[in-house]
Chains A and B, each alone.
Chain A
Amino acid sequence: MKPQRSKHTFLDRNSKPMRNAGEKRRRNPLSKYGIGIILIVICGIFTLWTKGLFLQPLNIVNVLRQISINAILATGMTFVIISAGIDLSVGSVAALAGVFTAHLLHLSGLPVVAVIGIALTGGMLLGALCGAVNGFTITRFNVPPFISTLALMTAASGMAFIICGGRPVWNLPAEFNVLGRGYVLEGLLGPWLPIPVLIMLAIMAGAHVILTRTTVGRYIYAVGGNEEAARLSGINVAFIKMFVYAFSGITAACGGILLASRLASGQPNAGVSYELYAIAATVVGGTSLSGGEGSIPGTLIGALIIGVLSNGMNLAGVESYLQKVILGVILLGAVMLDQARKKST
């Protein structure tokens, strides 16, 4: 998916040189919504395969709940990849933030609400700090993002084990565990509004606004599209890079905290290979690994495709090892299709 910057279209009517404005935007529906159509097709297949089981409303809510953590990580990843970077550390940072938050939750002598507040803030700050470290080494010392974040991936994972002494942190307050497990207005509406899904939607909506409506968002596209041109246009490239990595660190921490809450424990090995799923969701969603292109709605669809695939295959009773193989093949196919589409436009 191309970055959908529909924000200027309203101008079509009040500027003269726009008379042919529609021309370049005209694409056939498959190319404009390519990846969305793939998602619908996959949903259709599973609906038939599971004889309607897949399309049960509760299952759909379930899928959304299952993708929420990956989608949150992928949101930060989208920022990084649009800026032509990569962040391999998000899985480890999620684990580290989860364990650290769980650790802080064991503070004693304070009211539980205060403890939770401190723990959440602490976890998020730690995530931001990790991202800032990435941004710092990348901008100040010109370490390639792949290496810098790979190093932090190892280091953050090690720190997670050190904080908890190698053992999961149990006995978290029930008020905290609600974050990952609870539903809004459950008594009134039933299990329809999972809290993690709402958090995911809020984060993605915020990220979407940043990308499409703020100067920082515009600069992220510019830095990813042509870093030298961006620099020569007066953009503070180092700041933009710091921003995207710090943002990715924060979203990774949010994902890790939700995961800890869901597991009712801080697990030091919880985030293993999460970075790969986050990258997959981002890339399947049409964000270009070479930078300058991408969108949050695309990433949401990417995360949905991955979620629907594993949920659907579970329902259909596909054996779990085979699931991994199929997942890999389909991810590759989706991106290949998308590349072919881009070439043809």
Chain B
Amino acid sequence: MSCLLEMRGIVKEYPGVRALKGVDFDLNPAEVHAIAGENGAGKSTLIKILGGACRRNAGSIRIDGVEVDIDTPRSAEKCGISIIYQEFNLIRSLSVAENIFLGREPRRGVFLDKKKLNEEARAILDRLQVPLDIEERIGTLSVAQQQMVEIAHAISINARIMVMDEPSATLTGHELENLFHLIALLKAQGTGIVYISHRLEEIIRIADRVTVLRDGAHIITRTRNEYNRELLIKDMVGRELKDEFPSRTRVTGTELLRVDNLSRRGVLEAISFSLNYGEILGITGLVGSGRTELLRAIFGADRIDRGTVMIEGKTVRIRSPRNAIRNGIALAVEDRKLQGLVLGMSVSDNITLASLNAVNRFGFIDKKKACAAAALQIERLRIKTTGMLQRVGSLSGGNQQKVVLAKWLSARSKILLLDEPTRGIDVGAKQEIYLLINTLAAEGMGIIMVSSELPEVLGMSDRIFVMRGGALRAQFTRGEATQEKIMECAAN
């Protein structure tokens, strides 16, 4: 029997990173095949290649045993592949039916055949047993409902291969049940489903097979009766933690930061904690648990409703990032390219961006000082550039992250808030970032590190907080935390 989908030896290289190192993957009809792996394992890259969103450097893709060339989203669609990304491709101002048939609207002559459009849309939703008003606008729907529309769209193009990228990330318990029901239905109708998730419970529950990726390589594919939770975690984590995370002498000082009762309606719920000099505080939790929002609130990037922030025992009012930076707080955001860096500017301009007030005279930039400051950080952080005038956009992910850190070191921050500091960075560069974080802690900086990579949190932190639903749910010290305990708190 030939597979529905067969991917062999897929290689993808980005500047400075080898995202996929010859990955094999196959999918049978009427099968749910899960892909598991940590962030940066290569899951997203693999499905982007399958969906034609990016081109592979090597490897072949066969459908029903016939080699196909997928190089655009359109050609993927023609091969019967539909990808449901975390960010939906829906137009908020159009109706459910219009979105399902976007670009393929039934017509009569030059006019839209609205009746037929609605009829066909209704037929698909009925087939999926989804109770949705087809004339409702997308913008008024919940995330779960929008996801259903995406799936309906996939059905409407006769997709036989459906890829779901973290479909459960933003769903509540009840909505998740609906999704599983739908997946069972699709499976019964012969669709092959690729299911990508962090959540092991889900994988164990619905997957017929699971493939584990790690650092861009295929580790193992197991069938349902061969795997269990412990085995999966072991496959995903793989290496011994002690190799990866450099040790350091842990001496934490007096209290540096205290957050009291920090609240933001619907986002953060009465959060209180303190951070000492030289301490690394790990915060973890699922996507949407409020981790990023907590950092942004402390940094003044988002408004807060209640709560106080004290630095070195003094209450400070932080209402904007400017206030925060003046008080020695720095935030290295999760999405460097969108929020952390000005990609069109040079390495040196980015490094000095937050500290120009230290190197100017009456508003004129003292170029000598600015360059010296940038050169100092480039040297110290060993940023690999062709020169400080190189555009930041052309650096590798690891070096971009170093530029972000360099910016905050230049600004003489005392408190460093790190949001997913190693996301999209390859293993070698990760080590360097870890070493750097350790060095900064050793020099007395207080560091709060948000991460979904549990090994990273466990390996780096002095204390670990677990967030769920916008609140701190559990606190562990370095010794007592395990992946299992953390997952337990984070998931339910």
Contacts and interface: CB of A to CB of B under 8 A. Distances in A.
A232 B342 contact: no
Nearest to A223: B342
A219 B356 CA distance: 10
Interface string B341-366: 11111101100011011001001110
A242 to B, nearest CB: 15
A11 B345 contact: no
Interface string A87-99: 0000000000000
A282 to B, nearest CB: 17
Given A21-B386, A225-B345, A293-B344, A8 B379 contact: no
Interface in B306-359: 321-322, 324-326, 331, 333, 338-346, 348-349, 353-354, 356-357
B389 to A, nearest CB: 6
B367 A7 contact: yes
Contacts of B322: 234-236
Given A233-B407, A293-B344, A11 B388 contact: yes
Interface string A224-260: 0110111111111000000000000000000000000
Contacts of B394: 24
A21 B389 contact: yes
A8 B379 CA distance: 17
By size class, the interface of chain A is: 35 or more
Majority secondary structure of chain A interface residues (helix, strand, loop or mixed): helix
A9 B301 contact: no
Contacts of A5: 346, 349, 389
A37 to B, nearest CB: 23
Contacts of A16: 375, 379
Contacts of B385: 17
Given A8-B346, A214-B363, A229 B340 contact: yes
A12 interface: yes
Contact of B345 (A7, A17, A23, A221): A221
B341 A24 contact: no
Contacts of A266: none
Nearest to A292: B344
A218 B386 contact: no
B354 A215 contact: no
Nearest to B325: A234
A246 to B, nearest CB: 16
By size class, the interface of chain B is: 35 or more
B139 interface: no
Contact of B389 (A8, A226, A229, A292): A8
Nearest to A11: B371
A233 B354 contact: yes
Contact of A231 (B301, B357, B360, B386): B301
Contacts of A27: none
Given A218-B356, A232-B331, A18 B387 contact: yes
A140 interface: no
Nearest to B331: A232
Contacts of B388: 8, 11, 15, 17-18, 21
A216 B365 CA distance: 9
A324 interface: no
A215 B349 CA distance: 11
Interface in B456-481: none
A204 B344 CA distance: 24
B390 interface: yes
B378 interface: yes
Contact of B353 (A12, A233, A292, A293): A233
Contacts of A17: 375, 378-379, 383, 385, 387-388
Contact of B387 (A23, A213, A216, A229): A23
Interface string A276-297: 0000000000000000110000
A24 B386 contact: yes
Q: Determine which residue in A22, A25, A225, A233 has the highest number of CB atoms from chain B within 10 A of its CB, and name it.
A: A233
Nearest to B408: A233
A104 to B, nearest CB: 31
Contact of A215 (B321, B341, B357, B383): B357
26 contacts: A8-B388, A11-B371, A11-B388, A12-B387, A14-B375, A15-B372, A15-B378, A21-B386, A21-B387, A23-B386, A24-B389, A214-B363, A215-B363, A216-B363, A221-B345, A225-B344, A226-B341, A228-B338, A230-B353, A232-B321, A232-B333, A233-B353, A233-B407, A234-B325, A234-B326, A235-B353
Given A225-B345, A234-B411, 10 more contacts: A5-B346, A12-B387, A17-B387, A24-B394, A214-B365, A218-B349, A231-B321, A233-B325, A233-B407, A235-B353
Interface of B: 299, 301, 321-322, 324-326, 331, 333, 338-346, 348-349, 353-354, 356-357, 360, 363-365, 367, 371-372, 375, 378-379, 383, 385-391, 394, 407, 411
Interface of A: 5, 7-12, 14-25, 213-216, 218-219, 221-222, 225-226, 228-236, 292-293
